[in-house]
Amino acid sequence: MLLDYIRTNYKAGEPILLQNIELDMKYDNLCQQIKKLIDNGALCRYMDGVYYLPKKSVSGIPYTLSADTVAELKYIRSRTNSYGCYTGHTLANMIGISEQVPQVKEIVSNKTSAVTRTVKIGKFSYIVRKSAVTITKENVKAVMLLKDIENLSDVHANASKCLKNYITEKRIEKALVDTLIPSYPLRTYKAIYDMELTNVFA
């Protein structure tokens, strides 16, 4: 039953979170069934609570999950929902403000109760912070902008230009920003004003 459920709901090589398995089965029994599947090779374990159906590359080499893929499913997005986003130096690198690739990626998410915590996924560490607002598919791009904008403005001389391009590309609306910004410090609004971003919003 468990293997049929997994094959129906997941593709080979796609991360499976134990907490997301929706079956009428006691937790201990579910863990035992997962162990049996791993023992007979029908399922692979990436780390505690994270599994995937076996997959091989074109050259026949066994596939394994990437830490970023797991981190994104746990803290950023599922197939249908957004509940987090990259921030800080990670975002600065993504949108071209900085060429420096951060050693530890930063995430803000609904999926944590701690204000700030460091989590280990595979061999990599991630800083995960609780979001000041509830992140959704509709507001995630705006949250990415607002979370660390006052710090992004100090990273590089071209920060204003890069942020303007990001706002235009993602078509971030001023009305949406206006509903979110009261949840952020006054310095967030000041950074938007100082970098002359207010006229760029859709």
Over 90: is that where the pLDDT of 4 sits? yes
| pLDDT band of 153, cuts 50, 70, 90 | low
The mean pLDDT of 145-163, rounded to a whole number, is: 80
Indicate the average pLDDT of the chain. Answer: 91
pLDDT at residue 173 tops 80: yes
87, 106 Cβ separation under 8 angstroms: yes
Each residue of 44-87: pLDDT tens digit?
A: 999 999 999 999 877 778 889 999 999 999 999 998 999 999 99
Between the CA atoms of 167, 169, 170 and 171, what dihedral angle is there, to the nearest 10 degrees? 70
Angle at 113 between CA 81 and CA 148, to 5 degrees: 70
Contact at 8 Å (CB) between 132 and 183? yes
Q: Counting Cβ atoms within 10 Å, is residue 33 exposed (0-12), middle (13-18) or buried (19+)?
A: middle
Q: What is the pTM of this model?
A: 0.89
Whether the predicted pLDDT of 169 surpasses 80: yes
Query: What's the pLDDT at 157?
Result: 67
For residue 77, what pLDDT is reported? 96
What tens digit of pLDDT does each residue of 110-129 get?
999 989 999 999 999 999 99
| 92 has pLDDT over 90 | no
Cβ atoms 126, 106 nearer than 8 A:
yes
